[in-house]
Homo-oligomer: A and B are copies of this chain.
């Protein structure tokens, strides 16, 4: 597994990869691992630039092409954003990003817009069974529970019931939460350096119970989408559990599988 090195050891950074010293798999995977670790440890913060590709190549003692390949994968995974002439940046969990990557509710014509948000309740309490299971907590662990009502074109469409571990987000509080000028994931990122990188959404059909019906202005028993969603950060740690109820009379959950763009582009 010996590998050639392009840069003499005395010029390589402290993180330089040594021949044979990095376990298994291709070099660019190891570079990717290290980049991810640095992101997890918040060496570079949201919206800020990473060192240039040349600098990273020197730091890890690999060629720029190898760094590029690692970065390319992280860009495909929407962890990083490249901007020609400027640099490579940690993807912001801002409104545009959320809408683009993590929000799938569209109106009848397929149009997506950012919802208006109204906070219904914010409580420090205990996890229910489902949340504990999905978040890897013991039952009745301490969590924040948040209820959010999302409206599209002034019509309530989505009810969110969020549970977040207080151990992971100790400083979360209603004041900051209300005052935020950004998305919830943006708040997680700014407040605790926790970046959501993946969502698993389990979608089922259900009948609106009394609370859901009241919030979404539906008759009790109306069929709604019931989505259980787990948000993960780097290295698969679950961060947030969310139950989402969607009134699909005027909207739909749109999922695109396969080529996102015509391959003729």
A253 to B206, CA, bound (A): 13
* Pair B202/A257 contact, Cβ less than 8 Å: no
Q: What chain B residues lie within 8 Å of A262 (beta carbons)? A: 234-236
Q: Are B204 and A253 in contact (CB under 8 A)?
A: yes
Q: How many residues of A contact B (CB 8 A)?
A: 49
- B-facing residues in A169-223 (Cβ within 8 Å): 196-207, 223
CB of A225 within 8 Å of the partner chain: yes
Q: Judge whether B259 and A77 touch: CB under 8 Å.
A: yes
Q: How far is the CB of A181 from chain B (nearest CB, A)?
A: 23
A89-127 CB mask vs B (1 if < 8 Å, else 0) is 000000000000110100000000000000000000000
Copies in the assembly, this chain = 2
Task: State which of B33, B36, B74, B264 has its C-beta within 8 Å of the C-beta of A235.
Answer: B264
- Check A256 for interface membership: any CB of B closer than 8 A: yes
Tell me which residues across on chain B come within 8 A of A252, comparing CB atoms. 202-204, 228
Does A79 sit at the interface, judged by CB under 8 A? yes
Q: Are B205 and A263 in contact (CB under 8 A)?
A: no
CA distance A78 to B76 in the complex (A): 14
B202 and A254: CB pair below 8 A?
yes
User: Which chain B residue lies CB-closest to A261?
Assistant: B77
- When the two chains form their complex, are residues B257 and A199 in contact, meaning their CB atoms are under 8 A apart? yes
**A81 contacts the other chain (Cβ, under 8 Å)?**
no
List residues of chain B with CB within 8 A of the CB of A255.
104, 200-201, 203, 255
